[in-house]
Amino acid sequence: MTSFESEMAEQGRWRLRPKYAGFGLFDRLVANEFLSLERQVGWQRRAISSLVRYAAERVPYYRRLLRDLGLSPDDIRGPRDLPRLPPLTKSVVCDRGEELLSEALPRGERRLGYFSSSGTTGRPAKVLHTASSNEMFSYLNQRQLRWFRFDPAKTYAVIRLASQLPRRRGSATLNPDGETLCMAQWRYVGRFFETGPYVCFNVTNPVERQLAWLAEHRPAYLMTYSETLEHLAFAAADERPADSLEGLFAISEQLTASMRRRVERVFGTTVHQNYGLNEVGQVAVRCAAGRYHVHTEHCHVEIADDDGQPRAPGEVGRILVTAFRNPAMPLIRYDTGDLAEAVDGPCPCGRTLPAFGEIAGRYSRIAFLPEGTLGYVAAVREALETMPIEHSRPLRRFQIHQYRDNSFELRLVAAGSMPAEFHRIVRQAWRSAVGERGYPLDIVEVEQIARGPGGKFQDFTSDYFPAPGDPESAPEGPAGAGGAQPPPTGSGT
């Protein structure tokens, strides 16, 4: 459990650069984390009321929506009134984006540019951002790193797609495989604070080379995709990949409970997570108690049912996000397509920011699956997690695919043939899971497993998933991961 005093002491490790001496925003972020419930609710009420009035005045879509519903801006005075408005779907953002643009920005605001979701459904949602909405990314990035207890004086390593890494100064080309991109300061937060070095490596390098790279550079912290952490854990087998690592930051792809257990066991350290959307930016950060606390300075989150009504604590519902800091293209009750558990009551971590529970997945995928599918997939994941190391040592990555006839395929990338005992254990777990249904599972070894559109890797795919471009497909943001990135200019590196 933490406290205001503990967090201020932790904030003291972050030394502002001389240019920002006396800049009090980061201290105010700490104070906001421990406001009384009454003050938290009051802030949200004022922010929502102000946003709705602004949208009704300057955004054609919301002006027309309120008129059609017979509502005035004064009818939406806070979180309790938001369900009077329908959720904003990705299809509306894609098809009627021009109507969501503000006719005039507030004084001092300027348009920065469009930023898109990753588009793995084939229809990326494009959202116009302002410079101030982009700036929030850096501010909130520092908050989450403080929560993770990352020491800014140490080395921070990143393994990502080359297109998602910084560019070398003066270079228009992407970082080539085999090369290390070195920066003197951490990306984004290094603009404001004194930090140690920031080293980057392409995720397209072979996993064995990634392990060697970690051993060579000995970073204290590593940020990479959830699936990459699991791939590294598989390749490392029973040896810790780098004894210098003190913390991991999983981004962009869903981190299941079994993945978390495997990665933390092999790496010998904690995996941290956030939740963000390219369309919005930073939304929430996961605390040590397992709740995702919302950045109320930036947005409001609801966990709602299919009709947009609040879910009760303990129930799973859709994540709807209302963004406060982007007057260029306001998003009110934006349906992310992700699912999470509604929670209530004080968080054991001690912070008072509103929160939601563990992320259950992506609605647009889960909703189309036949009954029992997720249980079968979980059985395979559990078998791989608990597999004795001597039987799984060659395994590098896997993917489970479901065909329309309810046959399944377990695809393996391995450094050598998988032992017969590996096959026996997986098949035994599969038979126990499917029971009398008897759905077949084929285990095949392949040279590689391709990443999907947008560079995301999925360890479970299905022919039941909606086709790319389907209007019911969900907005592409990270499912419980911090893949959101600001537009390439305006935030500093």
Residue whose entry in the numeric block shows the structure tokens 């377990």: 410
pLDDT digits (tens, 9 = 90+) for 265-277: 999 999 999 999 9
Q: Could you give the CA distance from residue 275 to residue 278 in angstroms, rounded to a whole number?
A: 10
Share of the chain above pLDDT 90, in %: 73
Give the total residue count for the chain: 493
Residues 6 or more apart whose Cβ sits within 8 Å of residue 235 = 207, 208, 211, 396, 415
Q: What confidence score (pLDDT) does residue 457 get?
A: 74
Type of residue numbered 208: E
pLDDT digits (tens, 9 = 90+) for 232-279: 999 998 789 999 999 999 998 778 888 899 899 999 999 999 999 989
Sheet with 292-294, edge to edge strand ranges: 181-183, 198-202, 156-160, 221-225, 247-251, 271-277, 281-286, 292-294, 355-362, 334-342, 316-323, 299-304
**pLDDT at residue 314 tops 50:** yes
SS3 per-residue string spanning the chain: CCCHHHHHHHHCCCCECHHHCCCCHHHHHHHHCCCCHHHHHHHHHHHHHHHHHHHHHHCHHHHHHHHHHCCCHHHCCCHHHHHHCCCECHHHHHHCHHHHCCCCCCCCCCEEEEEECCCCCCCCCEEEEEHHHHHHHHHHHHHHHHHCCCCCCCCEEEEECHHHCCCCCCCCCCCCCCCCEEECCCCCHHHCECCCCEEEEECCCCHHHHHHHHHHHCCCEEEEEHHHHHHHHHHHCCCCCCCCCCEEEEECCCCCHHHHHHHHHHHCCCEEEEEEECCCEEEEEECCCCCEEECCCCEEEEEECCCCCECCCCCEEEEEEEECCCCCCCCCCEEEEEEEEECCCCCCCCCCCCEEEEEEEEHHHHCCCCCCHHHHHHHHHHHHHHCCHHHHCCEEEEEEEECCCCCEEEEEEECCCCCHHHHHHHHHHHHHHHHHHCCCEEEEECCCCCCCHHHCCCCEEECCCCCCCCCCCCCCCCCCCCCCCCCCCCCCC
C-beta neighbour count of 346 within 10 angstroms? 10
Q: What confidence score (pLDDT) does residue 364 get?
A: 57
Share of the chain above pLDDT 70, in %: 91
Q: Specify the higher pLDDT residue, 424 or 492.
A: 424
Is residue 115 within 8 Å of 126, Cβ to Cβ? yes
Q: Domain segments of the chain: what residues?
A: 1-368+470-493, 373-462
Q: Give the pLDDT mean for 164-181.
A: 89
Is 97 buried (19+), middle (13-18) or exposed (0-12) by CB count in 10 A? Answer: middle
Residues 6 or more apart whose Cβ sits within 8 Å of residue 261 = 385
Q: Give the pLDDT mean for 47-65.
A: 97
Q: Could you give the CA distance from residue 121 to residue 469 in angstroms, rounded to a whole number?
A: 6
Is 186 buried (19+), middle (13-18) or exposed (0-12) by CB count in 10 A? Answer: buried
What pairs with residue 289 in β-bridges? none
Is 253 buried (19+), middle (13-18) or exposed (0-12) by CB count in 10 A? Answer: buried
Largest CA distance in the chain: 69
**pLDDT at residue 170 tops 90:** no
pLDDT digits (tens, 9 = 90+) for 126-136: 999 999 999 99
Whole-Å CA distances, 314 to 16, 264, 336, 354, 378: 41, 26, 20, 15, 21
**pLDDT at residue 375 tops 90:** no
C-beta neighbour count of 273 within 10 angstroms? 25
Is residue 23 within 8 Å of 16, Cβ to Cβ? yes
Tokens, residue 276: 């963000």
Q: Which CATH class is domain 373-462?
A: alpha beta
Query: pTM of the predicted model, to two decimals?
Result: 0.84
Q: Which CATH class is domain 1-368+470-493?
A: alpha beta
Upper half-sphere CA count for residue 481 (Cβ side, 13 Å): 27
**pLDDT at residue 478 tops 60:** no
Q: What confidence score (pLDDT) does residue 378 get?
A: 85
Label residue 382 by pLDDT band (50, 70, 90). Answer: confident
Residue whose entry in the numeric block shows the structure tokens 């997939």: 377
